[in-house]
Structure 1
Amino acid sequence: MIRLRTKRLLLTGATFAALSSHAFALDGQDLLTKINAAYAAGSGVLKAEAIEVNGNDVVLKGTTFTATGPHEKSVLLGNLNLQDVTEEADGAYHIDRIEFPEVNLTEEKNSVKIKDLYLAGVRVPGNTAGEGLASMMLYEEAHSGPLTVIADGKQVFSLEEASGTMALSDDESALSFDGSVTGIKADLTGVEDAKSKDAIDALGLQTVTGEINVSGSWDPSSGTIDLDEYAIDLNHVGRLSLSFAFTGYTMDLVKQLQETARTMQADPNNEQAQQAAGIAMFGLMQQMSFQSARISIEDAGITKRGLDYAGKQQGSSGEQMGQMVKGMLPILLAQAKLGALQNEISEAVNTFIDDPQNITITAEPEKEVPFPMIMGAAMGAPESLPTLLGVSVSAND
């Protein structure tokens, strides 16, 4: 009697476990469907020949990504390994890590190779029609290892690593982001055009190395985008740094822009439809306002080499070429009718040419300026833009 009861209990427990396992098993097809729904502007479709679920891991086998639009093209990605996938109560998915196979594209003597590709901390929304960042597909880290480009049997470009991260605020209403590309190396010694090769040699650009860094934040509720830094730093050339801030880029605007983009992609050969969609997108962009911007160039020797090369082409020295630029600049600026800014630009450029260190252009209006006002001034009274945007120029700060 006890044995029979025990046997029944074991059988019941096994049946319940089997049913529970089936009930809570990951739905790989649902995951793939939601990944496709989350693509920002419907710019592509991810397809898989087969989907394999093993516990909390999902393998999308034989995947291809097809970019939609007038020039539709499919790229074979291979097997994608989605590790430690969990489904949340709202139908969203969290993926601890997505590993991509190595890229190895080869055609005759040309090839592109990329290693160590992955996304980490990916959240796939359960409903893209929701509000806030919860309706977007986000990741904590995107990573690429070494990349090499070979042309005609010779390596012409490479980078060591590229990575980007996102972080949500404590209340998950805003996000910050940063990224970097390190170990950039471009080999220009293979350029065959004689004139271009002469310029490359004179400017010392046979091999260009450097890095790129970017950081910023976005608050969808206020629509404020603040790009703290976008910097390109090239050794023995210089550093170009950009930053800007504007408002109005809300989640509602993002979705309207996405819908307009989908409309344009749906009928790419209809010129009237494309023009109408373009006008609509232009109108949507007018909901934004400008807050500030800054462009800074730090010289690392390229200015002097550039003046020397330009002077040589004119049969003069680099110093004489610098004086020529300083003399011509006021004449060119006078045509733009920039008012007091004209003298400020001339003074900054003169200072920079005499001692190339850095030159900075800043735009900081007293209060944010709506984009329609900027566009109206640009078309009707371009000379008013510097005052409207609070533009200033300085050198060797």
Structure 2
Amino acid sequence: SWTGVSGDDSNATLQGVSIKPAAEKDALPIGDVKLEGVSEANGGYEIATVSTSPFEHSKDGVTLNLSPVVIHGMKVPAEGGTDPLGSLMMYKSAELSNMTVKVGDKTAFAMDGLAVQITPPADGKAMDFTANTEKFTADLSLVDDPKSKEAIEALGYQNISGNIAMAGTWQPSDGKMELSKYDISVENAGTLGMTFNLGGYTVDFIKSMQAMQKQLASQPEGADKSAQGMAMLGLMQQLSFNGASIRYQDDSLTGKVLDYVGKQQGMSGKDVANQAKAIVPFGMAQLNNPELTAEVSSAVNTVLDDPKSLEIAAEPPSSVPFALIMAGAMSN
């Protein structure tokens, strides 16, 4: 909602904008939102540039600050359109120069240069998307837990910095969603990368999920939500699993952790590595999958002997319905 509008049909400012998330009781004030290059398109609107005001929100001693969010090439769909993608608000790119999270007067987390690029799906082609940050920093000295604080100080990670990179595709026609890259890199530590490939993430699935979330949020506090929970599980069964991987590229963290654990136990980092090599096969044996146990044990041995990279991948020969995965998890 907004309190007023100024400008004309092609350039306008929405004044006093506020949004009310489905799970929240109170609306969140956003401030003024500027719309530039507005034009009608097939009953909806195309907006060349959307930019927000600087944003600040404080709660329980934590303050979030955002620089203006700038969105380019936004399409606002017409109501009641026949295009299956018409219900989704698309844009070509977005930028956020800076975000900070403060605890009291200390900056716990900061991120600079978030940039998102999207190539909307067209002519049967999948949507491509990327997201990158120039840099993030985190002050881990603010961690309260004494044991965690001790480990952070011993490893020398009171203040860390790094970047995030993401890329993927989405095909609305069959719902194939692939996250081909999601890397979190921390300087002088390492890079954690993840990928996944899902099927069934269609426009209809998205609409049903949004409707279900609204229904759950509208329930009064303390109400029985078991029926909606079962419906949500049923909805998740429309998805299928095609593959996933987790990869770690070391940049000195492994050696530091082994030395730290060894010091705690009165042994060397090399002794800790040998101990881990012996334990992993026993832990993996509980999965009753000898081939997987051998593969994981071999990979762990390699990375402990010469810390460079470790990757664990799940690549089924054919798509696996989420219903089977959930049934397997429940049986264990």
Q: 2:104 aligns with which of 117, 128, 152?
A: 152
Deviation digits for residues 67-92 of structure 1, max 9, x if unmatched?
223x323221111111111112x211
User: Would you say 1:76 and 2:18 are equivalent positions?
Assistant: no
Range that drifts further, 96-105 or 150-159: 150-159
Identity %: 33
Separation in structure 1 between the aligned mates of residue 218 and residue 84 of structure 2, nearest angstrom? 26
Q: TM-score, normalised by structure 2?
A: 0.92
Cα 1:189–1:257 change in 2 (3 A) is closer
Q: Residue 279 of structure 1 aligns to which amino acid in structure 2?
A: M
1:203-214 superposed matches below 5 A: 203-214=155-166
Q: 1:244 aligns with which of 179, 193, 196?
A: 196
1:186-197 superposed matches below 5 A: 186-191=138-143, 194-197=146-149
User: Would you say 1:307 and 2:307 are equivalent positions?
Assistant: no
Separation in structure 1 between the aligned mates of residue 84 and residue 71 of structure 2, nearest angstrom? 22
Larger radius of gyration: 1
Cα 1:108–1:72 change in 2 (3 A) is closer
1:44-63 superposed matches below 5 A: 47-63=1-17
Higher relative strand content: 2
Three-state SS of the structure 2 residue aligned to 1:145 is: strand
Three-state SS of the structure 1 residue aligned to 2:110 is: strand
CA drift of 1:296 comes to: 0.7
CA drift of 1:108 comes to: 11
Instruction: Give yes or no for contact 1:139–1:166 (8 Å, CA) kept in 2.
Output: yes
Deviation digits for residues 275-310 of structure 1, max 9, x if unmatched?
111111111111121111111111111111111111
Q: Which residue of 2 aligns with 1:335?
A: 286
Q: 1:91 aligns with which of 34, 39, 43?
A: 43
Q: Which residue of 1 aligns with 2:72?
A: 120
CA drift of 1:374 comes to: 2.3
Cα 1:131–1:189 change in 2 (3 A) is same
CA drift of 1:213 comes to: 0.8
Deviation digits for residues 341-388 of structure 1, max 9, x if unmatched?
2122111111111111111111111111222222233334x6xxxxxx
Higher relative helix content: 1
Separation in structure 1 between the aligned mates of residue 112 and residue 222 of structure 2, nearest angstrom? 43
Cα 1:108–1:377 change in 2 (3 A) is closer
Q: Which residue of 1 aligns with 2:128?
A: 176
Deviation digits for residues 146-200 of structure 1, max 9, x if unmatched?
2233333233321221121211244276311110122101122344655433211
Instruction: Give yes or no for contact 2:36–2:49 (8 Å, CA) kept in 1.
Output: yes
Separation in structure 1 between the aligned mates of residue 60 and residue 233 of structure 2, nearest angstrom? 44
Number of residues of Structure 1 aligned to a counterpart in Structure 2: 332
Query: Structure 1: which 5+ runs fail to align?
Result: 1-46, 383-397
Deviation digits for residues 301-352 of structure 1, max 9, x if unmatched?
1111111111111111111111111122222222332222212211111111
1:121-140 superposed matches below 5 A: 121-127=73-79, 130-140=82-92
Separation in structure 2 between the aligned mates of residue 290 and residue 111 of structure 1, nearest angstrom? 38
RMSD: 2.2
Query: Structure 2: which 5+ runs fail to align?
Result: none
Separation in structure 1 between the aligned mates of residue 67 and residue 114 of structure 2, nearest angstrom? 11
Range that drifts further, 166-175 or 204-213: 166-175
Q: Residue 235 of structure 2 aligns to which amino acid in structure 1?
A: L
User: Would you say 1:235 and 2:187 are equivalent positions?
Assistant: yes
Q: 1:103 aligns with which of 46, 55, 73?
A: 55
